[in-house]
Structure 1
Amino acid sequence: MDDVEAPAFQRARRPEHRELRRREILDAAEALLAELPVEEISLRELGRRLGVSKTHVVRYFESREGVFLELLGRLRRSWLEALANEWPAPPCEADDVMRAWAGSLAARPMLCQLWSLLPTVLERNVSAEAVRAYKLADLEDRTTLARLVSDRVPGLGADDAMTLTRYAVVALVGLWPLSNPTPTLVEATADPRLRASRVDFATMYGEILQTTLAGLLARA
């Protein structure tokens, strides 16, 4: 649909134009997220970036959270498409795969930021239908991720690989905010006595993945 041509952002009537409008809104949200935290981006701000009203944006997304929920899915799919080239090819060491997993996410702070907001922000103020669609897409993406892990860790069964992807999301949701503290916390933990409070996301996330994988393999 990249070759679809339509006038500037007006109400779409054909399905392909409606899809184009949704992509334009997601593109604007991604651009704004590179400049501002999520909590400062409103539907009105999105409309202003696109040169339309807030009402116009609501024709395509039911809420601000709905926009970022779909953007999270788009960024996650893009990440999954890149993993085959970013992760070590089999045969390889399991720990190397876990470290590569952590490093590939650390290189995508926007994806991590949105993912960490999933339970507290993005799944609020959206319909059950929107959440269901997201969860089904997430399940499909985690199945793909589990398959990639299983290909590189032969001793890991399909069920345990899916369990690992679930634990990985839970760990990311908790760890990302801790590893990206507010300026006040940065100042407070500059005290040498609080050195252990400083968290490097890639390092700790890799350790969490390695430990979780070791436990799953031992249990199996």
Structure 2
Amino acid sequence: MDGNGRWAKQRMLPRVVGHQRGVEAVRRTVRAAGEIGLEALTLYAFSTENWRRPEDEISALMGLLKRFILADLEEIAGNGVRLRIIGDYKAFPADVVELLDGALTRTAGNTGLNLVIALNYGAQDEIARAAAKAAAEGAVTVDTIAAHLDTADLPPLDLIIRTSGEVRLSNFLLWQAAYAEMAFLDVLWPDFTGEHLAAALADFGKRERRYGGR
């Protein structure tokens, strides 16, 4: 979900306004994903590298996360969405962790869309943690590493959509992306809509996936 800062800068607004509009785009996208019938949607909300940002911006992001949970949890739960988290969210402030734990518990029994939020997540860190766990148990193989990834009980990754015109993965789901399709869209995240999601999925549906074969 890239482009919040640039969206705000283009309009000569504070970066936090861009993040606020980005939350609105999250709402639109989650609703659209549910209507389309997606099995899982993963949103890269806060990376391990985001701690390098200014303290006031980090504080604003934490505040937005809290407000999103407080304002949207009942709608999410009521629509059958199950909230999942990848990454070490326990490193967040205690009040944020408490809200997240409550949201996970509140939606644990839902069987609709798996809404996966990547929080304090970095793919290299995830792979290192998974390999260490595999080594502690015995053989380190592709299968044993995969079994210890944060996404081990989630469906395979099919499509990565990156907004804002950037063409890189930025430490996101590197292991899972081995044979995923990719879509790089020249639209800033606050302007992303359900129509953009539907168009990306329609394009994905036309692609031939060979997984290394002919």
TM score, norm. by length of structure 2? 0.29
Larger Rg: 1 or 2?
A: 1
Bigger fraction of residues in strand: 2
